[in-house]
Amino acid sequence: MLFLWLYMFYSCAGSCAGLTTRGSPAPLRAAPPLPPLLPGEPGEESSLEEQRAAPDAGSPISSFFNGSGTKRLPQAIIIGVKKGGTRALLEFLRVHPDVRAVGAEPHFFDRNYERGLAWYRELMPRTLEGQITMEKTPSYFVTKEAPARISSMCKGTKLIVVVRDPVTRAISDYTQTLSKKPDIPTFESLTFKNRTTGLIDTSWSAIQIGIYAKHLENWLLHFPMGQILFVSGERLISDPAGELGRVQDFLGLKRIITDKHFYFNKTKGFPCLKKAEGSSKPHCLGKTKGRTHPDIDQEVVQRLRDFYRPFNMKFYQMTGQDFGWD
């Protein structure tokens, strides 16, 4: 009889795991937790499918018994920018015991919005009282519909934007694409609509993303400036503890992540964690971090700096921060 009871219980746990009422999360089920972040360059995307396929994802039965806390919609979101340092920031933040974050990029507010908030909530890790739920999807910052959609979810959502010299960011963006598609045109040819006239092609996403002031205007229609924190991608490398201090203050967290958590890897040229989340071993971002950039014609680089300068100046004025890109 005991065996029969156990068999029925396990069968119910498995079959009921997928049931949920649209608009609200399933109250008992603990979905297989997303594994730790896959190594990658800051801003480099990893799909939910890749993350869920990892060997330590856990079974529905073990998650059912081991799950604790509640799945909540995120109180804070890293919304941008691509190739700015978002993955580094998220990995660093996950060291904090009061931060729980999705490893993969959900892309809810740009690609999956029609799936509904219940689907989005189900992606989130379980949190205990006092912990913050977070996610990061760098493409939100340049998605026109994202600000209104996030505001509709919760007007009090805290937003974090990691920004980087737009010229360096564009070259890094191109370098990532080049690694996947070696036959793409040169950076120089993609930069200009007409090389002779020097007219910059702002329709190219690598260029367009770096016009930060333009994108920020869209966000300020829905969120006050005080709800947005701008993190310097350059300082995240040169002074990770200092930038993480600002982020912890912004999120209302105790300053637990400090200098003692980092060491500088001279070979890679960027800071690494002495101990990553859930590990006792040092951890650096993957081999794609710090790719060697192709040699770009310095005249083209200067043309881009001249192009971005007025937008950078406006961005400095809007944020009250001089990021030192000029």
C-alpha–C-alpha distance, residues 190 and 31, integer Å: 44
Which one is the CATH code of 70-319: 3.30.70.20, 3.40.50.300, 3.40.228.10, 3.60.21.10? 3.40.50.300
Residue 34 CB contacts under 8 Å (≥ 6 apart), including other chains: 48, 51, 52, 57, 102, 103, 104, 123, 125
For residue 174, give the H/E element and its range: helix 166-180
What percent of the chain has pLDDT above 70?
Answer: 75
**Residue appearing with tokens 């993190």:** 231
**Least confident span in 31-40, 118-127, 279-288, 314-323:** 31-40
Q: What pLDDT, on a 0 to 100 scale, did the predictor assign at position 277? A: 65
For residue 230, give the H/E element and its range: strand 228-232
Token pair, residue 82, equals 């691509």
CB 69 within 8 Å of CB 131: yes
Half-sphere exposure of residue 317: CA atoms within 13 angstroms, side-chain side: 9
| Residue 202 banded pLDDT, cuts 50, 70, 90 | very high
| 80 labelled ligand-binding | no
Using CA atoms, how far residue 21 sits from 118, 119, 129, 258, in Å, is 8, 10, 24, 42
Domain ranges of the chain: 70-319
| 87 labelled ligand-binding | yes
Using CA atoms, how far residue 249 sits from 187, 229, 246, 256, 297, in Å, is 39, 10, 5, 11, 41
| 69 labelled ligand-binding | no
pLDDT at 16 over 50: no
> Helix, strand or coil for residue 88?
helix
| 290 labelled ligand-binding | yes
Q: Which residues are catalytic?
A: 83
Residue 228 CB contacts under 8 Å (≥ 6 apart), including other chains: 158, 159, 160, 161, 216, 219
> pLDDT for 114-162, tens place per residue?
999 999 999 999 999 999 999 999 999 999 999 999 999 999 999 999 9
| Average model confidence (pLDDT) across the chain | 82
Highest-scoring range by mean pLDDT, 35-44, 212-221, 285-294: 212-221
> pLDDT for 207-258, tens place per residue?
999 999 999 999 999 999 999 999 999 999 999 999 999 999 999 999 999 9
When comparing pLDDT for 278 and 214, which is higher?
Answer: 214
